[in-house]
Structure 1
Amino acid sequence: MAVVNSKHVQRGQVNMGDTGFANLPDKTNAVIIQQGDVLMTGTGVGTIGRAAPCLHPEKALPDNHVTVLRTDAMSPICLALYLNSIAGQYQVDQHFKGSSGQIELYPADIANFWCPELDQSTQQKIDKLAQQSLTLKAQSTRLLEAAKRAVEIAIEQDEAAGMAYLARKGALP
């Protein structure tokens, strides 16, 4: 099973691309990450308090620096967006423990965070916009990679070959 650690939890997105793997013993009470959970990082200056909804259907294990949040009170996307907002990060700053770069945010402290109550219609609109944003981000990443490769082809061969590559990849308007 994939193991998700702090580097996989980006603000707003879980990157499952380079996770490690672990075998789950038969008799265990491990928390298993499921689609719809919100993951929040709990350690380190610069990484503490990052939140992302898990939109992947594959189950995974969190390492000990990732807290799994489950609630029916708010959609996973809205909750992650809120936790990454100024208001959410202010609460991270208020609740973390430690100093000198060795800071921790414990699940019991996260449970004391205040979150707004949003009606279902508002949450659905926010979710839709966030999903569109993720789709456009993936599309822009794909187009950027195609453009980089086209430049390489243009240098190695000629401009026409680079443009033909872009046409084959559907990267031209």
Structure 2
Amino acid sequence: MDSAIQTQKYQALVVMGVSGCGKSSAGQAFAEALGWALHEGDTYHAPESIAKMRAGTPLTDADRSGWLDRLAGLLATPNAGGSAGTVLTCSALRRRYRDRLRQAQPHLGFVFLQLGYDAALARVQARPGHFFSPALVADQFATLESPAGEAGVLVLDATRPIPALVNDVLAWMNADKAGSPQATAAATDTNGGLA
């Protein structure tokens, strides 16, 4: 597995989507399957930003700026600590946020876990003790600029079982590595079908 991972097109993956889409669970599973390091993006928020989210106050671009800089720093050295790569969970809702992360790591792929509003709200409401207020779910959807159609993005249905998502990610990365027309077409069909 190690030799296969070292030849992957991507050195880092961002698992993205609205709150409640399952970034943490899926990101952990992807990292384990790849043998990569995992970074939970929420842990890099400033204390002031966490307090705002707990109170149900949406973050501004200014609030997210330092957070994105910290995440970009993680992605700039995806092999730190001897890992073959990095998996980062991060909402990455706007195109400019994703572009900021791409500037730090040119070999960056995004896995967008797509989920509808009602399902996201139900999942967030079911997370006792988490700092993210359910009142902010609507703001997440208002902020979201879908990455479907952007290069290096795999769109997946977040309601599918985690093992199926892992299989899709591994197949996508291997298809990109192979670079064959058939493999590329398969990845495009997956993106287009769920966009």
User: Normalising to structure 2: TM-score of the pair?
Assistant: 0.24
User: Normalising to structure 1: TM-score of the pair?
Assistant: 0.26
Greater relative CO, 1 or 2 (CA 8 Å, sep 6+): 2
Larger Rg over CA atoms: 1
Query: As a proportion of its length, which structure holds more helix?
Result: 2
